[in-house]
Amino acid sequence: MKVPETFFSVNEELVLFGLSCLCGAAFGIFYDIFRTLRAMFRHSFALVFIEDVVFFIGCGIALTAFSLTAAHGEMRFYYFIGSAVGFALYIFTVGNIVILTVRKLFGIIRRIFVIISAPFRTAFAFLCRKVLGKFVRSTEILKILKKIVKMLLLNPLRLLYNKIENKKRKNVKCVVGKTKRQ
């Protein structure tokens, strides 16, 4: 009966460490996707948190798959160290160049978009001023109508039973509220 070898040799462990460093570089490429999205669009704190959680879950799944395929399912601490080293090397070397290039590229694209959309924005602003001017005038008319209606309607708290008699103040009672005597 042949028993499978359960321990790796030093050469195999060095190869696995190198592969885990390459896996960490792949994690850096995966993280650059999120960094480019953050460079393109503004992100809230909650969205950055969600992206980081997705990144860490993806890295955990990938590292587990790495240990299952390359190391016969054995998880060693130096896989984590190797992937962290590979990630750091990628982010601080190639990753910075990639992000700077992406930011410059999107800056150029934004400027081109601003130049192309400038006539459309001015036309839209002109139309908005015309349309909003109509709405402003209509609201002014509504305010005037509201004042007219308010003047025409009687306030029930000041409604008197007999207005002529009230001027003389003789035996007139308010319909609503206290009675006035003099």
Structure tokens at 34: 């999120």
pLDDT of residue 163: 54
Q: Report d(CA 50, CA 123) in Å as an integer.
A: 39
- Residue 48 · residue 37 · CB < 8 Å: no
pLDDT of residue 19: 92
Q: What sign does the dihedral 63-65-68-73 (CA atoms) show? A: positive
**What is the pTM for the complete model shown?**
0.59
Q: Report d(CA 126, CA 131) in Å as an integer.
A: 9
pLDDT of residue 166: 52
What is the per-residue pLDDT across 140-152, written as a single tens digit (0 to 9) for each? 777 888 887 777 6
- Residue 34 · residue 73 · CB < 8 Å: no
pLDDT of residue 137: 67
Per-residue exposure over 151-182, b if at least 16 CB sit within 10 Å of its own CB, e if not = eeeeeeeeebeeeeeeeeeeebeeeeeeeeee
CA-to-CA separations, 48 to 32, 43, 58, 96, in angstroms, rounded? 13, 6, 15, 19
What is the per-residue pLDDT across 85-108, written as a single tens digit (0 to 9) for each? 999 999 999 999 999 999 899 889
pLDDT of residue 182: 46
Find the length of the chain: 182
pLDDT of residue 8: 73
Low-confidence ranges of the chain (pLDDT < 70): 1-6, 133-137, 152-182
